[in-house]
Structure formats: structure tokens, C-alpha cells
């Protein structure tokens, strides 16, 4: 039961990114004043989804089957599972790198009028 709840919570992370990408796309279509880039949010959703799937595979096949005997009794498996996804997100972010820097493509209009 605890692993099902944990996996559900883990899948909420990429779901939020996909919902924000959808919302941002709808804002872009409706010509909202401050639309965000839906492509960037979608890429972040894919990244977190990849990390969640990797965390589930590690939890199911490595922690529960292979390393179960090596984990000390005083350390509950749930504690390790709780730190597994943040650890994978951190390691993958170090390996892949951050998002591309946002560049200003259009210079702002600057008034030529001088104040004396």
C-alpha cells in the first residue's frame, strides 16, 4: 500500500508540469499578457517523468529485491524510498545540465528624449 501511494505522489510531479504546459499553451493561444513557454514546461515534465520511472525501477528491482538484505534494520525502507526521487532528480540534473538560458531577442524601446 505504501509503495502505491508513494508512486502516485511521484507521478504527480511530472503531471503538474504537463498541466502547466497545457495551461501555458492555452494562455499563448488566447494571447494572454504573460504566457510562459509551454515547450520548456513540457521538456521539464518529460525530464521528471523519466526520473520517476527510473526511481520506480530502482525501487522495485534494486531496493526491494537485490539490496533488501543489505539495508540495516534500524533504517526503514520507506525513508530510503522518500529520498530516492529527489536524489535521482539531483543526479540527473547534474548529468544533463540545466535549462537553456533565456535570451532577450528584442531590445526594449528606449526613449531618445533627454531630461536636463
Does 104 map to a domain?
Answer: no
Does 108 map to a domain?
Answer: no
CA–CA distance, 72 with 17 (Å, rounded to integer): 36
Mean pLDDT of all residues in 61-69: 72
Confidence of residue 111 (pLDDT cuts 50, 70, 90): low
Q: How many domains does the chain have?
A: 1
For residue 71, what are the contacts with CB-CB under 8 A and spacing of at least 6?
A: 63, 77, 80
73-85, pLDDT tens digit by residue? Answer: 777 777 888 888 9
Does 92 map to a domain?
Answer: yes
pLDDT (0 to 100) of residue 106: 67
| Residue range of the domain that includes 35 | 2-96
Does 37 map to a domain?
Answer: yes
Instruction: With beta carbons less than 8 A apart as the criterion, state whether 56 and 10 touch.
Output: yes
Mean pLDDT of all residues in 85-91: 92
Does 24 map to a domain?
Answer: yes
Does 81 map to a domain?
Answer: yes
Does 115 map to a domain?
Answer: no
Does 16 map to a domain?
Answer: yes
Confidence of residue 33 (pLDDT cuts 50, 70, 90): low
Instruction: With beta carbons less than 8 A apart as the criterion, state whether 55 and 90 touch.
Output: no
Amino acid at each position: 500500500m505504501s509503495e502505491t501511494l508513494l508512486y502516485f505522489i511521484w507521478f504527480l510531479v511530472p503531471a503538474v508540469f504537463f498541466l502547466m504546459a497545457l495551461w501555458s499553451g492555452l494562455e499563448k493561444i488566447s494571447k494572454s499578457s504573460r504566457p510562459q513557454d509551454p515547450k520548456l514546461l513540457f521538456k521539464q515534465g518529460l525530464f521528471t517523468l523519466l526520473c520517476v520511472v527510473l526511481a520506480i525501477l530502482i525501487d522495485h528491482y534494486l531496493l526491494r529485491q537485490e539490496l533488501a538484505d543489505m539495508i540495516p534494520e534500524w533504517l526503514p525502507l520507506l525513508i530510503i524510498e522518500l529520498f530516492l526521487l529527489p536524489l535521482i532528480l539531483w543526479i540527473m540534473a547534474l548529468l544533463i545540465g540545466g535549462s537553456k538560458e533565456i535570451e532577450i531577442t528584442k531590445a526594449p524601446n528606449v526613449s531618445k528624449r533627454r531630461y536636463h
